[in-house]
Amino acid sequence: MGKFCILIKMGLLKKLAIYTTSNGFTYDALGNVVTKQTANLKKEGKTINYEYDYGRLTAINYPDHPENNVKYHYGGINSSYNRIGRLMLREDGSGAIEYYYGKMGEVLKTVRMLIVPNQAVATYVTQWKYDSHNRLLEMIYPDEEKVTLSLPQHPFSPLFACAG
């Protein structure tokens, strides 16, 4: 298991080898972070552990507060809403967030369910609408506020109008 960091230079990503073990991270053969050790965790000999399935992050496990662990679920072969192979659901200590995708992989809707102790589960839905070129046209917030984006007449002009 080698150590490396990512260098971003002129917009390009480059992997650099690092031969020190004091950075608090360990990696698998694919370069995924497997463990993370903060200064506080190092004192106790504990680590935050990351789990993967074919290179996709599936879980983050915390040593002291397992109730805050994070689980990632991906769409299988029979998944609806274009979720095949994409992140479908993320669960954590505060609740869950579910993702819905369009034909070009764009996020159309998220449903956030918050678990508030001693209260009912709160649900928040956020939606996005796109044109046929996958350009964002409208955002609909959980309180049903709509923000509409107007596209320019000239294809190289910047976005010129926003209402909502």
Return the CATH fold of 69-164.
Answer: Lipocalin (2.40.128)
Domain borders along the chain are: 1-61, 69-164
Asked if the model's pLDDT at residue 2 lies above 70, the reply is: no
- Whether 138 and 129 have beta carbons less than 8 Å apart is answered as yes
| Position 46 confidence tier, pLDDT thresholds 50, 70, 90 | very high
The whole-chain average pLDDT of the chain stands at: 84
Alpha-helical (H) ranges within the chain are 39-44
Half-sphere exposure of 149 (CA within 13 A, CB side): 15
**Which residue, 66, 121, 133, 65, is CA-closest to 97?**
121
Asked if the model's pLDDT at residue 162 lies above 70, the reply is: no
* pLDDT tens per residue across span 81-105: 999 999 999 999 999 999 999 999 9
Cα–Cα distance for residue pair 139/96, rounded to 1 Å: 21
pLDDT at 8: 47
Mean pLDDT lowest among 59-68, 77-86, 130-139, 146-155: 146-155
DSSP 33-55: EEEE--HHHHHHT--EEEEEETT
Cα–Cα distance for residue pair 34/71, rounded to 1 Å: 15
| Position 52 confidence tier, pLDDT thresholds 50, 70, 90 | very high
Arithmetic mean of pLDDT, 59-86: 96
- Whether 38 and 23 have beta carbons less than 8 Å apart is answered as no
Query: What region, left, alpha or beta, does residue 77 occupy, with left being phi > 0 and alpha being psi -120 to 50 degrees?
Result: alpha
